[in-house]
Amino acid sequence: MKALLALEDGRLFEGISFGAPGECAGEVVFNTGMTGYQEVLTDPSYKGQIVTMTYPLIGNYGVNEADAESRGLWLEGFVVKELSEAPSNWRSEKDLDTYLRENGVVGIQGVDTRALTKHIREAGAMKSVISTTDLEPGSLIAKAQQSPGLSGRDLVQDVTCDQPFTFAAQGGPTVVVLDCGVKYSTLRQLRDEGCTVVVVPARTTIDEIRAYRPAGVLLSNGPGDPAAVTYAIDTVRAILQIGTVPLFGICLGQQILGLALGGTTFKMKFGHHGSNHPVKDLVTGRIDITVQNHGFCIDPDSLDTDTVEVTHINLNDRSLEGIRHRALPVFSAQFHPEAGPGPHDARHLFKQFVKIMNESSEDIA
């Protein structure tokens, strides 16, 4: 079945449908990972986006439930050069086409993903539509132009959990995870460090968090515009006012922390999406190859340098990748230290968080 990808600037890409038939709209971005397509599909941070994989052959090792990063698939659409129709891996439980079809995700293959990626790099990420039902170029371009995009949108409310739940009860320090779209790999890392992990909805108030008497709070990754998640920003401000609670932000969690500290965020030209981004720790000089998935970033010039220290930068574009408070036990990373999927270079940040919690003599109550 024929499918068409239309961008808001009028650029068109023809291909063949796979996954679910139908139509979807979202901001088209590219991911540079050579593997990990299932983790991409199940990462809640991709809500509102159509993801293009730059590696040309996708689906060759199938999918399985163990590699899922959340309870569902969140991206709006999926673009690949070539779909593997015969996956070969002992862990495979089904093929990618079936997986997308069962979860209602529209896919398009046969696209020149090199040309699409080059176009996004030059023109920036933009609104787009994939359709198998409307193949009239003018109509699809108009739909892309009229779609909402990401700026100003709170998509956290679409991906956060409905009710609090305990992911792990290891007997170690209790960590409350403010779920803005958390990945299972983050929860597993906390569990493996011996933490008792309690996951709460993004709208959880400071009083409700206090009731768990946590030793620390983790602000998770998530989708959309961080400035629109005002309720989480207010909660983080309240935690900061307490002044003694260890706080660790990841990706969107860093952006929310930065906003709570008085900074501002901006939308990047095409963002960072992949598992091969070099980041330098300005404190130690260490360089980690990291997993990234973000389209917004903290403006370093907006931060009060008397209060906040920039700790990490991206070596590709010098963008801000990490901050810490100069007086409080508070730090964050723009990249994904849980590495699901990707290199494990930055997983030491979870040990750092646990060390800070163990050294703290008070909990949030």
pLDDT tens readout for residues 261-270: 999 999 999 9
70 shares its domain with 9: yes
Is 120 inside any structural domain?
yes
CATH of the domain at 15: 3.50.30.20
How confident is the model at residue 340, as a pLDDT?
87
Answer for the pair 319, 310: CB distance below 8 angstroms, yes or no: no
How far, in Å, CA of 113 to CA of 82, rounded? 10
How far, in Å, CA of 329 to CA of 32, rounded? 34
Question: Which amino acid is residue 361, in one-letter code?
Answer: S
52 shares its domain with 103: yes
Is 151 inside any structural domain?
no
Report pLDDT digits (tens) over 300-354: 999 999 999 999 999 999 999 999 999 999 999 999 999 988 999 999 999 999 9
Report pLDDT digits (tens) over 164-212: 999 999 999 999 999 999 999 999 999 999 999 999 999 999 999 999 9
Structural domain including 287 reads: 156-359
How far, in Å, CA of 88 to CA of 289, rounded? 28
How confident is the model at residue 185, as a pLDDT?
97
How far, in Å, CA of 163 to CA of 27, rounded? 29
How confident is the model at residue 152, as a pLDDT?
97
Is 365 inside any structural domain?
no
How far, in Å, CA of 77 to CA of 75, rounded? 6
Q: 277 catalytic, yes or no?
A: no
253 shares its domain with 208: yes
Q: 325 catalytic, yes or no?
A: no
Give 28-50 as a DSSP string: EEEE--SS-HHHHHT-GGGTTEE
Q: What are phi and psi of 233, to 5 degrees?
A: -60, -45
**E strand or H helix at 253, and its extent?**
helix 252-260
How confident is the model at residue 214, as a pLDDT?
97
Answer for the pair 6, 129: CB distance below 8 angstroms, yes or no: yes
Whole-model pTM: value is: 0.96
Q: Which residue out of 251, 272, 297, 312 is catalytically annotated?
A: 251
The answer to whether residue 140 scores a pLDDT higher than 90 is: yes
Q: 14 catalytic, yes or no?
A: no
Count CB neighbours of 266 within 10 A: 12
Is 364 inside any structural domain?
no
The answer to whether residue 141 scores a pLDDT higher than 60 is: yes
User: Of 126, 146, 166, which one is at a domain's C-terminal end?
Assistant: 146
50 shares its domain with 108: yes
Q: Which residue out of 27, 69, 193, 338 is catalytically annotated?
A: 338
CATH of the domain at 220: 3.40.50.880
Sheet strands side by side (includes 216-219): 165-168, 196-201, 174-179, 216-219, 247-250, 330-333, 320-325, 308-314, 265-281, 287-298
Closest CA to 59 of 29, 101, 3: 101
How far, in Å, CA of 220 to CA of 210, rounded? 18
104 shares its domain with 142: yes
Closest CA to 30 of 270, 334, 225, 266: 270
187 shares its domain with 121: no
Beta carbons within 8 Å of 309's beta carbon, 6+ residues apart: 323, 324, 325, 326
Average pLDDT score over residue span 236-250: 96
173 shares its domain with 130: no
**E strand or H helix at 270, and its extent?**
strand 265-281
343 shares its domain with 194: yes
pLDDT range class, residue 125, cuts 50, 70, 90? very high
110 shares its domain with 258: no
pLDDT range class, residue 360, cuts 50, 70, 90? confident
How confident is the model at residue 364, as a pLDDT?
60
The answer to whether residue 365 scores a pLDDT higher than 60 is: no
How confident is the model at residue 270, as a pLDDT?
96
Q: Which residue out of 272, 273, 294, 336 is catalytically annotated?
A: 336
User: Of 119, 146, 173, which one is at a domain's C-terminal end?
Assistant: 146
> 330 has which bridge partners?
247
Higher pLDDT, 363 or 96: 96
DSSP annotation of 220: P
How far, in Å, CA of 265 to CA of 258, rounded? 8
Q: What are phi and psi of 189, to 5 degrees?
A: -65, -45
The answer to whether residue 361 scores a pLDDT higher than 80 is: no
Q: What rounded mean pLDDT belongs to the chain? A: 96
The tally of domains found in the chain comes to 2
Is 333 inside any structural domain?
yes
127 shares its domain with 191: no
Distances (CA, A) of 231 to 87, 119, 154: 44, 36, 10
User: Of 96, 126, 146, which one is at a domain's C-terminal end?
Assistant: 146
123 shares its domain with 217: no
141 shares its domain with 163: no
Answer for the pair 47, 159: CB distance below 8 angstroms, yes or no: yes
